[in-house]
């Protein structure tokens, strides 16, 4: 590889993120996308006029909530979901790499816990 990443930016030779931590970060990104997708589905469901064959009840609302959660989780777990988890992961990875290049110590994911302005 010539040192140029997919986005066209030059990437310095740095220590990779620990595979176990990388797996956890990807899971958190997927979970966040699932939560956002669930809220999107829940909001869209509110726009449907009441009525229909099955009357509104607590049971129906519980079923719809569980259905929306399952759909959202399925979307987030298939491939890259809607793409949001990939974008979040790439942003976190860029930030991690930037913090690694500014410090001389070993790679640390703890820098991801800092607010955005702290590394600049």
Q: What rounded mean pLDDT belongs to the chain?
A: 78
Boundaries of every domain in the chain: 19-48+58-100
CA distances from 113 to 18, 22, 77 (A): 16, 14, 25
Neighbours of 84 (CB within 10 A): 17
Which pair of tokens denotes residue 10? 């030059």
Give the pLDDT of residue 95.
85
Higher pLDDT, 67 or 113: 67
DSSP symbol at 16: P
For residue 40, pLDDT over 90 is answered with: yes
Contacts of residue 37, defined as CB under 8 A and 6 or more positions apart, other chains included, come to: 71, 72, 75, 76, 81, 82
Higher pLDDT, 105 or 59: 59
Alpha helices in 10-108 (DSSP H): 19-46, 58-77, 84-102
The residue among 80, 66, 69 whose CA lies nearest residue 30 is 80
The model's confidence at residue 17, banded by pLDDT at 50, 70 and 90, is: confident
Report the pLDDT averaged over residues 22-34. Answer: 92
């Amino acid at each position: 590889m010539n040192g140029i990443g997919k986005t066209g930016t030059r990437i310095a030779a740095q220590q990779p993120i620990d595979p176990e931590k990388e797996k956890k970060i990807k899971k958190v990104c997927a979970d966040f996308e699932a939560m956002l997708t669930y809220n999107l589905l829940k909001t869209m469901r509110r726009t449907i006029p009441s009525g229909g064959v099955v009357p509104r009840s607590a049971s129906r609302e519980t079923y719809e909530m569980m259905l929306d959660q399952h759909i959202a989780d399925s979307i987030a777990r298939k491939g890259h979901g809607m793409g949001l988890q990939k974008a979040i992961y790439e942003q976190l990875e860029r930030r991690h790499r930037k913090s690694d290049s500014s410090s001389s110590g070993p790679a640390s994911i703890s820098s991801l816990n800092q607010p955005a302005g702290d590394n600049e």
